[in-house]
Amino acid sequence: MKNQNFSLPLFTVFLTAFPLWLPLFLWIGCQLTGRIPPHDSAGLYEKHWNIQFSADWKEAYHADSGPSFHGDGERYSIYENVSGSSISDSGIPFIKGRNDTIKEAFQSMADTLGVEEEKQPDFTEPCIWARLSGEGGDYLVMLFVPEENKLFVAERLT
């Protein structure tokens, strides 16, 4: 008789706790089978800056300052498979030539986020760049290196 009374509360506890563990088990299963798509920051850049990234661009590298309750922080991405025509189609106002402010912004962001030197743009190569500014000191800097078909993106949200 005592075993029957003990098993009923144990079964109730299991049924109550199971829904809390189910999402964790599903997430672990998706991670192990590779069903969760890789990280891509394009949607965040598009949302914050009202711009359009090409679907052909593939994010090859990403670094950020981590999650933030307020949505602030820094992001650094490298996109590959970027062509001059897709840059023109993006509608982003790129400027040709070197700019020391852009170089400093990329180097500062790379230092802050611990980006390896081989993942940083080579400023000796010909490039085009764009800088979008927002309120409160927010900015997005993009650097396209045609020789490498790469787009480097650095974003700071305050």
In the chain, domain spans: 1-36, 42-157
Q: Kindly report, residue by residue over 7-25, the tens digit of the pLDDT.
A: 556 666 666 666 666 677 6
For 106, the token pair is: 């990329």
For 124, the token pair is: 């000796």
For 87, the token pair is: 């840059």
The neighbour count for residue 131, using CB atoms within 10 Å, is: 17
- Give mean pLDDT, residues 121-144: 93
Alpha helices in the chain (DSSP H): 2-33, 42-49, 84-89, 100-113
DSSP string covering 24-45: HHHHHHHHHHT-SPPP--HHHH
Q: Kindly report, residue by residue over 29-59, the tens digit of the pLDDT.
A: 666 665 555 567 898 899 889 999 999 999 9
DSSP string covering 47-66: HHHT----TT-EEEEEEES-
pTM of the entire structure? Answer: 0.75
Q: Kindly report, residue by residue over 79-101, the tens digit of the pLDDT.
A: 999 999 999 888 899 999 889 99
